[in-house]
Every structure is written in structure tokens, then in C-alpha cells.
Amino acid sequence: MRRKARLVPILTLAVGSALLPATIAYGDTAAVAPATPQPAEKEAADTASEQRVVQRYWTEAKMEAAQPLDSLAPKKEGIRLTAETLAAQTAARPVSIPATTASGDAVTPLQAEAAAARATSGSPWTRGGAITKTAGRVFFTYQGRNASCSANAVTSENKSTVITAGHCVKMGGSFHGNWVFVPGYDNGNRPYGTWVATTLYTTPQWNNSEDINYDVAAAVVAPLNGQRLTDVVGGQGVAFNQARRQQMHAFGYPAAGPYDGSRLIYCSGRAFDDFLLSRDLGLSCNMTGGSSGGPWFLNFNESTGLGTQNSVNSFKYNFAANWMFGPYFGSEARAVYDAAQRTDTP
């Protein structure tokens, strides 16, 4: 294993030529957190020769042909979750918001909660700012086929850390190959280059059993043309153990219909809690496959394109195309981030 870089509590946020102080927010937790299982780690293209091979592999044609992964859903033995079982499971849950539509039709508590969260769904991001450089598409090989996800560059000591979803680094028992991050991807253009992963990390819960509550991962990417990732594209802050049900912005590159993966898409609204088969956060959002791993932000400034990352696009229920769910960033997500940012790049 490569030597780990020294962790410091204060990071820098690089945007253009400006360096701004940024701290990692861990919520109101005790100074000494309880022990957390170590993240699962997989070395990827960690030599210069391997990185050249991966770089050559990803032609423009292969990127355009890459398909999103199959849809994910939480697993619970003995339950097939449908619109009917949704109504049955949620009928008894007390809520403090109206449980009828404007026409008087009854809705479930989760539907009412989601409807109460003011939201935008699936709109192209046209305002520019830092997000157009830090967010990007991820490409990899999964079981012999080329696939895509989304990810985001974050502030880190090694200036080389990307956060994404667990299933965007490992699925079906194996880590993906030929893993690259393309920040600022725009209709086939790669304005900031193609960054090859040297190491992939995910939570032990995702690694061992693909537990959807811990669908979080990080990648460390090699320098490109002598520069490190966030020196080129900047980085967004990241926070853990934050309050739920806050206003959030979600971004990604959905590649399944009606989208084609060519543009950065966003949604915004107040997050709600999934109480069906996961402990995830929910957001009214109709992004599709390929947006997995795209960042969710607290305190997102639409003028500057800067925010604090606090989740990723993870899964949808098959009966609820307008809801997206993302894992709560707790101590397990923090451990993944810490392991990644301590890793030196070649």
C-alpha cells in the first residue's frame, strides 16, 4: 500500500487562482468519535504505464456509447415494494402535513412529505460557476461493458479526491476497471482532461453486502500533465453528520432516457426522509441512470456554484420516478473520505 499523506483539519478550496479556507463539518459530535470499520480499498491504475493504457482506452466513441448501470433498489427479504405495498406500509405513519392532494385524493405520508418539498426536477444547469468544473462524468468497465456514473471533486489534502456512489466503483462482487473521471464533461468535450483512478474506496457495508444505506465511495486520481485535480478544477467542501430535511441541490449526468449524458443536470428542493426500505435522504428529482454518484449540496450558492457536499445520487424506487434517494453522510462516509484524502498519488 502506498504511503498515506498527513491529515490536517483545515483544507483549501481551489477555484481558479483563488484559494479559500474550508473546513470539514462533522456536526455536533464528540471530539473523539467511536471507532468506525475501515473502508474497503482497491488499487486501480497505480503506475504510469497502467494509466497510459486506461487513457488510451477511453476514446470519444467509447464514452458516448457507455451505458448507465442497471437500476438499484434497496433489498429486504420477503418484500416486493410496489405502489400498492407502499400505500399499505405507510398508511399508519403519522404526519404533520396534509395527506391529500389539491383534488382531495388520499396520498401516503411519503408522497405528502415529498410533495411538500419545493423542488425543481431535471433541469440543465446553465448558470456556470464552480460546479461546472468540479462535477463530471465517470466512465468504467463493468462485467465487460462500458458504463457511466457521475462524481464530484472535493477539497482534500492530496488535492486528488473524488466522491461518488459505492455502486460506481464496485457492483456484483467486483471493483470496476478502467476507471476515469472527466470533470466538466460537456456534450463529448473534456475541457479539463481525463483523470485516471489510482485507488478506489467504499464503505465496508457496501463492499460486503451492497447495503444501500452506505452506497458511498471515493476515488483518488493520478496527476495529469504534472498537476493535481483540484489545482485544475477546484474542489467543493464536504460535510458529515449534518441535520436532515434541509434544502439541497443535486447534480449529475443522467444518461438514460429522456437524457443522454451530454449535459450537467440539477434538481433542488428540501430533502425528506425515506422510511420504507432505507434510511436515506430523498429529493424530488427525475434524473435517471448515469446520474448515480452525482453530488448533493447543502448551502449551495447558485451564483458561485459552490456548496458543501452532503450526499450522492444513489437509487430510486421503481414506482417513483420523480424521487431520488441518497445516503446519509455519517461516520462511514467520513471514513471513506479520510482514507482517500490521506492517500498519496504517484
The predicted structure's pLDDT at residue 58: 97
Instruction: Identify whether 141 is part of a domain.
Output: yes
Would the pTM of this model clear 0.85, i.e. be above it? no
pLDDT at 212 over 80: yes
The predicted structure's pLDDT at residue 112: 52
Parent domain of 258 = 108-127+239-326
| Lowest-confidence pick of 66-75, 84-93, 220-229, 277-286 | 84-93
Same domain flag for 192 and 294? no
CATH number at residue 297: 2.40.10.10
Instruction: Identify whether 85 is part of a domain.
Output: no
Residue 152 phi, psi (nearest 5): -150, 140
Same domain flag for 155 and 296? no
Instruction: Identify whether 257 is part of a domain.
Output: yes
Same domain flag for 310 and 254? yes
Percent of the chain with pLDDT over 70: 75
Cα angle 287-175-79, degrees, rounded to a multiple of 5: 55
Distances (CA, A) of 93 to 86, 98, 148, 189: 12, 13, 37, 48
Same domain flag for 157 and 301? no
Give the total number of structural domains in the chain: 2
Same domain flag for 64 and 156? yes
Percent of the chain with pLDDT over 90: 68
Same domain flag for 153 and 209? yes
User: How many residues belong to the chain?
Assistant: 346
Same domain flag for 305 and 166? no
- Collapsing DSSP to helix, strand or coil, 346 comes out as coil
Same domain flag for 120 and 149? no
Instruction: Identify whether 314 is part of a domain.
Output: yes
Amino acid at 280: D
Average pLDDT, stretch 69-92? 52
Same domain flag for 276 and 294? yes
Same domain flag for 144 and 243? no
Same domain flag for 157 and 217? yes
Same domain flag for 165 and 208? yes
Distant-in-sequence, close-in-space partners of 2: CB < 8 Å, separation ≥ 6:
46, 199, 343, 344, 346
Instruction: Identify whether 117 is part of a domain.
Output: yes
More confident residue, 246 or 22: 246
